[in-house]
Structure 1
Amino acid sequence: MERKLWKQAHPTPELQHMQSTMGRSSSSTISHSVPVVVVCLAALLLSNVLIYLYLDFLYQTDEQIVSSNVGCLPQHFKMVTMKNCTPWLQCSQINAEVRKLKLIGYGAVKKVYLAEWRGQKVALSKLSSLDYLDDFLHGLSMLQALQGPLVVQLVGFCLEDHTLVTEHHPLGSLLNLDSVFAQERHKQHNTWQIRLRLATDYVSILHYLHNSPAGRRVMCDSNSLEKTLSQFLLTNDFHLVVNDLDALPEVDSSRGSLVKCGHRELTGDFVAPEQLWPFRNTGKPFSDDLMPEYDERTDIWKIPDVTWFLMGRIPGADLVHFHLFQIHEECKREDPKLRPSALDVLKVYKSVYSSMVRDNAGIRDML
């Protein structure tokens, strides 16, 4: 035993030569193979990281893409094909330069026409009835106060004629989403990434309205899914802007100032529980005077329903719903005080988007 150990510790000259030769060969092989393996792994990792960073960069810059008037002074506008910012159009300019083409929408407050101004397509809105003048003026004042990437761009207005002009978005409101994606030229955009981005835009808009320069605003024109979807326009680069601001009452919790969305009884599962007549099961008739007021958390209750619609039935939608399950459960809490803020929801949406993009990039690299 001792001799065998000694031989292993002190090899013969022949064995030394063999080991030396094998060592040089092994060293040569390792010196060539290790860098190749390292380079391959580095390239794989780099491609993964680059894909993730690129997609994440596109996502993080979404808010800058939404609006074309970024960089303009207040009370100015600039549409995509315009080189310079222009002051809001006034009555004389609207009457002389804006040409009405066709009716594209109407509601209780206003009629909306496709129009043209100096070769630019715009939306011309006119008051439908003087009965709704206060709503019209409120909507105009909100458009003026809330101009930014998440709000439709104001082009001009004329109080004398009760008209206002905004940027035209040919894809229309969110009510058209499925029909837009069904078009051949837009089918490639019908992905969970684009749909989740739209849902994130929606929550971003709520967060903006709940923390706006004009105070904490509540979206009161949202008593049904269809009515809510009609408030948002789909841009050509598949983002959202809020368009209809005729019913945005202000909440001021410091003064105990709450709101009621209209003076009629609201019904259905879409509206928040606190918006329902609390004595509906007792047979007591609805009374606006006895109806309790509420705050912006009514908007939070509706987020899961809107997102469910926006995600549709495309591959990946189920996984998105799975990741959003917990935050959506919190949005649906009966007690409005226990619901998350729009910012809380927004953080989760962005986190889910980024992690799913990263995971998808990793799967592609493995394939």
Structure 2
Amino acid sequence: MRQRRGPQSVSGGRIYCPCVWSRGVDGPRHDNNQQMKNVMGRSSRTTSHSAAVVVLCLSVLLLANVVIYLYVDSLYQTNEPFAASHTGCPPQHFRMITMKNCTPWLQCSQVNSEVRRLKLIGQGVVKKVYLAEWRGQKVAVSMLSSPVYLEDFLHGLSMLQALQAPHVVQLVGFCLEDHLLVTEHHPLGSLLNLEGVLAKEQHQKHDTWQVRLRLAIDYVSILHYLHNSPAGRRVMCDSNSLEKTLSQFLLTSDFHLVVNDLDALPEVDVARGLVVKCGHRELTGDFVAPEQLWPFKERFVDDLMPGYDEKTDVWKIPDVTWFLMGRVAGGDLVHFHLFEIHKQCKKPEPELRPSAQDVLKVYRSVYSSMVRDSAGFRDML
């Protein structure tokens, strides 16, 4: 007799059929009504049990994806990009990550007696920056390079005092008499070092589209904060090239951004007739906004150069984000989702560009949707 085989389940075992009962591999068929009833009862119970197990497994898997999505999504649905170490301190106090308590800003006597400079780690037109130590804490000491730039130095210090927030490097102390200030040290350095940092073995796990897009979100969050700050609407004027712009930001050890250099942060207030001109020289190149270019055929004259507003910062967002995303896997999809908002950022007419807040909303939405998709949230639905 030819062997008859029943249908098989996914796991390779037999499934029960209500119309055929098999006693063995080659056993004969039985038409006994009672046997049929018993088989059908067992089949029904087995099917119900299997269905319940499948439903339970799917429910657990779906819940796990929802939890993952909601957790990651919540990180970038708040107004703050991350929780800084000095959050919760009263005004004019600081607290670094390894400190339990908030401490008042250091004054001249403390800066001179307790802060020990170790080595020069940076130098710009306005300041020299030294790695230093205070009570076992690494800090950065910035000293005025030349009396010619005293006004810029004092402006930067006043902005640090007025704008202390998770978006801004933490002020530790200052001494006006000696023209120096002390801030929290971030060993990964400026945003210019991003590719080099991510290339190191211990940081390669952070070289993902998620981390890079979060850095872009931090960057736009900082612009939004500066454009709506307690010290008025401020424009980043030290941003006439991509390299100069990147140098204004520090990369924290947990891969977030803080703005560090606030020496050129003029105020815009159209109602009061306050507009901005970033420097007294003619600006050129595609990185700066069209309204920052000399609009006349005649030779550049500073006094005749029209002013502009914070929308110059918005113009530069796509270029900075292109740098931040690099060539990471998934970056092309990020650029695809951001194409429309970046197109709006590049409108020649500044009044037609979105605000930094508008851009931030799109960035957060793209991040959330991509995290949800990568977690399989939509597939489970």
SS at match of 1:33: helix
Partner of 2:185: 168
Question: Offset at 1:19?
Answer: 8.0
**What is the match of residue 11 of structure 1?**
none
CA offset at residue 26 of structure 1? 4.7
In structure 1, C-alpha distance between the alignment counterparts of 2:113 and 2:309, rounded to whole Å = 43
Q: After TM superposition, list the pairs within 5 Å mapping 1:16-95 onto structure 2.
A: 24-60=41-77, 63=80, 65-95=82-112
The amino acid of 2:146's aligned partner reads S
Equivalence map 1:256-335=2 (5 Å): 256-279=273-296, 282=297, 284-335=298-349
The aligned counterpart of 2:223 is 206
Of 117-126 and 42-51, the range deviating more from structure 2: 42-51
Q: 2:9 maps to what in 1?
A: none
- Distance in 2 (alpha carbons) for counterparts of 1:83 and 1:36: 49
**1:201–1:239: 8 Å Cα contact kept in structure 2?**
yes
CA contact (8 A) 1:64 1:70 kept: no
Task: Tell me what 1:220 maps to.
Answer: 237
> CA–CA distance in 2 between the matches of 1:325 and 1:66?
30
Displacement of 1:363 after TM fit?
7.8
Distance in 2 of aligned mates of 1:100 and 1:61: 38
Q: Does the 8 A contact of 2:192 with 2:247 survive in 1?
A: yes
CA pair 62-214 structure 1, distance change in 2 beyond 3 A: closer
CA distance in 1, matches of 2:226, 2:54: 53
| Unmatched segments (≥5 aa) in structure 2 | 1-30
The 1-side partners of 2:85 and 2:123 are apart by 26
> Does structure 2 conserve the Cα–Cα contact (< 8 Å) formed by 1:98 and 1:117?
yes
Aligned: 1:240 with 2:241: no
**How much has 1:50 moved relative to structure 2?**
2.0
Residue number in structure 1 paired with 2:18: none
Q: How far did 1:83 drift?
A: 1.0
Partner of 2:141: 124
Is 1:136 the counterpart of 2:153? The answer is: yes
Counterpart check, 1:356 vs 2:373: no
Amino acid at match of 2:349: D
The CA distance in 2 between the partners of 1:120 and 1:201, in whole Å, is 25
TM-score when scaled to structure 2? 0.88
* 1:150-188: CA deviation from partner (whole Å, max 9, x where unpaired): 000000000000000000000000000000011111111
Instruction: Give the C-alpha shift of residue 61 in structure 1.
Output: 6.6
Q: CA RMSD in A?
A: 2.0
Aligned pair in 2 of structure 1 residues 179, 203: CA closer, same or farther (>3 Å)?
same
Mapped partners of 1:152, 1:37: distance in 2? 52
Q: Residue 176 of structure 2 corresponds to which residue in structure 1?
A: 159
Question: Is the contact between residue 215 and residue 251 of structure 1 (CA under 8 Å) also seen in structure 2?
Answer: yes
Contact 1:225 1:270 in 2 (8 A): yes
Instruction: Answer yes or no: is the 8 Å Cα contact 2:128–2:142 preserved in 1.
Output: yes
Which stretches of structure 1, 4 residues or longer, exceed 3 Å deviation after superposition?
14-27, 57-66, 363-366
| Structure 1 unaligned blocks of 5 or more | 1-13
Q: 2:65 touches 2:377 (CA, 8 Å); kept in 1?
A: no
More helix by share: 1
Q: Evaluate the alpha carbon distance shift between residue 285 and residue 152 of structure 1 in structure 2; reply closer, same or farther with a 3 A threshold.
A: same
Q: Distance in 2 between matches of 1:61 and 1:184?
A: 31
